Amino acid sequence: QKEVEQDPGPLSVPEGAIVSLNCTYSNSAFQYFMWYRQYSRKGPELLMYTYSSGNKEDGRFTAQVDKSSKYISLFIRDSQPSDSATYLCAMSEQGGKLIFGQGTELSVKP
């Protein structure tokens, strides 16, 4: 079993939809949680960074961490075609290396 599991998709939604992207993990020591967005042939770009549990909101994006369930989510409201990309979750322990999910490919259709 991988330490971090992420459904690779692809996920296709109409413009304006609410998108929910998820990752599960097995290591209860993970404390730092991140979401990256990666456009084709580009490097990942940091979207959200959360320490421990709780919610964090930034514009149309909301990140949630549920440590009791070992589950993190990224919600995108009012999705746009420009949101079409691969979304990677990543997490680490205190002082540990970053562990990435496989990435979920999202397509937002006009």
Partner 1 sequence: DGGITQSPKYLFRKEGQNVTLSCEQNLNHDAMYWYRQDPGQGLRLIYYSQIVNDFQKGDIAEGYSVSREKKESFPLTVTSAQKNPTAFYLCASSKTVHQPQHFGDGTRLSIL
Residue 75 lies near partner 1 (rule: CB under 8 A): no
Figure out which of the listed residues 72, 74, 88, 91 binds partner 1, where binding follows CB under 8 A. Answer: 88
10-18, 56-64, 74-82, 93-101 -> range binding partner 1 (CB under 8 A): 93-101
Least Å from the CB of residue 13 to partner 1: 21
Q: How far apart are CA 54 and CA 46, in angstroms?
A: 18
Residue 3 lies near partner 1 (rule: CB under 8 A): no
